[in-house]
Amino acid sequence: MSVVTHKPQVEAPIPVTRPGQAVRRGAIGRPPTRARVAGAPRVLARRNCPPQGPRLSVVCVLALATVACAAVLGLGALAGSVGPSVPSETKVVRVLPGESLWELAGRVAPTSDAAAVVERIRELNGVDGAVHPGQPLTVPFSR
């Protein structure tokens, strides 16, 4: 005696169509496609891209980034240290009415750093506080 199993028949769902619409054949939910020939090679279109150059490794990229950061920091440090110096030539001037040491420094050495000129004026004259109109002061002078 042999045992034969029978597959139950499953009914395919009937596609719902509107009046005037054609019924599609094939798998439900997929657009109709052309039948593929068995064993035919699959041909893909060639891309017309130029060949890529060599890629940089992670180590090279990190080394370049480190060098760039060091260059930026080094140039920034040099830029901060290079500035107009206080003139070495001195001259005796009188303080004008209402003039402060900062204004005097701007008048006698306009191209130099005002804070450095004020500090040099204080060193040369022994001035700690305010100055008085008409007071003679030895100041660094630039033309």
The CATH number for 96's domain is 3.10.350
pTM above 0.85? no
* pLDDT single digits (tens) 85-126: 788 888 999 999 999 899 998 899 888 888 889 999 999 998
Tell me, yes or no, whether 118 lies in a domain: yes
With left for phi above 0 and alpha for psi between -120 and 50, is residue 34 left, alpha or beta? beta
Q: Which of 131, 129, 124 is nearest to 98 (CA)?
A: 131
* pLDDT single digits (tens) 40-67: 677 777 777 777 778 888 899 999 999 9
Tell me, yes or no, whether 101 lies in a domain: yes
Q: Mean pLDDT, to the nearest integer, of 3-21?
A: 62
Tell me, yes or no, whether 129 lies in a domain: yes
Tell me, yes or no, whether 82 lies in a domain: no
CA 143/CA 140 separation, integer angstroms = 10
Q: How many C-beta neighbours within 10 Å does residue 110 have?
A: 11
CA 60/CA 64 separation, integer angstroms = 6
Whether 104 contacts 121, CB under 8 Å:
yes
Parent domain of 117: 90-140
Number of structural domains, the chain? 1
Which residues contact residue 99 at a Cβ distance below 8 angstroms, ignoring those fewer than 6 apart? 107, 131, 133
